[in-house]
Structure 1
Amino acid sequence: MKEGWTWRLPCALASALLLAACSGGGARDNPDDSVLHQDIASGRAGAEVTFDGTLRADPQPVGTHEHLTVTTPAGDVLEVDHNTSLAPWVPAHAGDHVIVHGELYIDPGPRAGVHCTHAHTSSGCPRPGWVELGGNYYE
């Protein structure tokens, strides 16, 4: 072996293991509908949320976004604004089960919704998000 190689391999392996541990190994947040319900009730706009639900209708295109109306198990109805200029279209239909990770917003009315459901962050979306349908992630 070349001189110095004996310490490089263990360091490289340790670095790879540390990176995998810190990144969560690709793990995703699990849905927490009760936290989402509390965030909506307390008006916590900007909260990072992960929840599951059922589509009330087929998604609708609106400009550069796909709007999905989702009902959670707690009965909350949210509009998910999925930016299709930054993430692929979700091929969902009414009655499909989805899991959503993004940022909560609350409009006057009050109407709750989630945006920032894409991996590419932007000035208005500091954390990446996603929509899961049938084991596939649309981010």
Structure 2
Amino acid sequence: MEALMAVVIGIFFAVSVYLMLSKHIIRILLGVTILGNAVNLLIFTAGRIVHAVPPIIGEGNDVPNRITANPLPQALILTAIVISFSFFAFLLVLAFRAYQELGTDDTDEMRIAEPENEPVPPLGY
């Protein structure tokens, strides 16, 4: 199961890098989101994937009797999901406002921060 997850994580990383190298803001945002999901899967896989063995210690034992899933990576992933969703929502609103102001989502065209018809203010303050 870990080998399959490693392949899926590798595909997620490759797709996210490909999307983040795009010129369009929406593709970049989707790449960042997929990168966050790839990191979450990586942390989850590092915490062992074991079926039907909860991390519960029986009475009279100091440690579990057999290999169990680690609950710490699962708790970290839940926190990371909430943070990444709020980060994505903020970036989506930021990209939308940039599109409204500049009229494009192409990053090469966004480099021109000032409209062509707007007068340049004098340098002396």
**Structure-1-length-normalised TM-score:** 0.24
> Normalized per residue, which structure has more helix?
2
> Normalized per residue, which structure has more strand?
1
Larger radius of gyration: 2
**Structure-2-length-normalised TM-score:** 0.26
Choose between structure 1 and 2 for higher RCO, CA contacts under 8 A separated by at least 6 residues. 2
